[in-house]
Amino acid sequence: MNARVLLVEDDADIRLAVSAELRTASFTVDVVGSIAAAADVLASVTEPPACAVFDRMLPDGDAVRFVDARRRAGWTVPVLFLTALDSGSARVEGFEHGGDDYLVKPFVMAELLARVGNLCRRGAGRPPVLRHADLEVDFARCEVRRGGVLLSLSNREFAILEYLATRPGMAISRSDLVEHCWDLESEPMANVVDAVVKRLRRKLGDPDPVETVRGVGYRLS
């Protein structure tokens, strides 16, 4: 599935490995190594992430305190604590202060991906499969079928189609697509959205379900 995930982890090796696996699984990932940097990311995006993954013991404090404070302010983003703190009391503390899930290091990467996907779907409140005419988008499996035929899409093509499919009929600007389908670290060229949409349309075939909205961007018609 494509969804934006905030990963807050100060261990460079774990940060690199987890972010790479999440991106391979078609997630858009913003990666930081401290609570302060996480706060900056959350303040800079117009729409909150679908899920946040926090290491607990970060250079500037325990992420549990940060999450707890945001919960008290009404923050509803699902949170997974990914940590070496494996005692029963540590787990209870995580859940009592705003955590939705808890995974202890060392962990199995496939389990982490499954847990993140589950939290993203829970936060979005959407069905695992969305159907639009003869187009079927399976968020859980990151698969797309047209007329029952499985299509081979790149991660970016799937991300754009998913974003359009969850907002059928809405005109989505190119800047919105960049914000939600590319990481904050990425600096896509101005015409990259048009190039990806062109490839997507070629794979979807006729009749073209992606409509160009002049002066704005695209929508799923």
Q: What is the pLDDT of residues 174-214, one digit of tens each?
A: 888 887 787 665 656 658 888 999 999 999 998 999 999 88
pLDDT in tens, 13-45: 999 999 999 998 888 899 999 999 999 999 987
Spatial separation of the C-alpha atoms in residues 84 and 106, rounded to whole Å = 7
Please give the C-alpha separations between residue 147 and each of 69, 81, 166, 205, in angstroms, as whole numbers. Answer: 48, 40, 19, 11
pLDDT in tens, 133-190: 888 888 767 789 999 899 998 888 888 898 888 787 888 888 888 877 876 656 566 5
Q: How far apart are CA 142 and CA 136, in angstroms?
A: 11
Owner of token pair 């919960």: 71
Whole-prediction pTM: 0.63
* Domains of the chain in sequence order: 4-124 (3.40.50.2300), 129-220 (1.10.10.10)
116 exposed, middle or buried (CB, 10 Å; 0-12, 13-18, 19+)? buried
Q: Which residue has the tokens 């073209």?
A: 208
State the pLDDT at residue 114: 86
Q: What distance in Å separates the CA atoms of residue 158 and residue 7, rounded to the nearest whole number?
A: 21
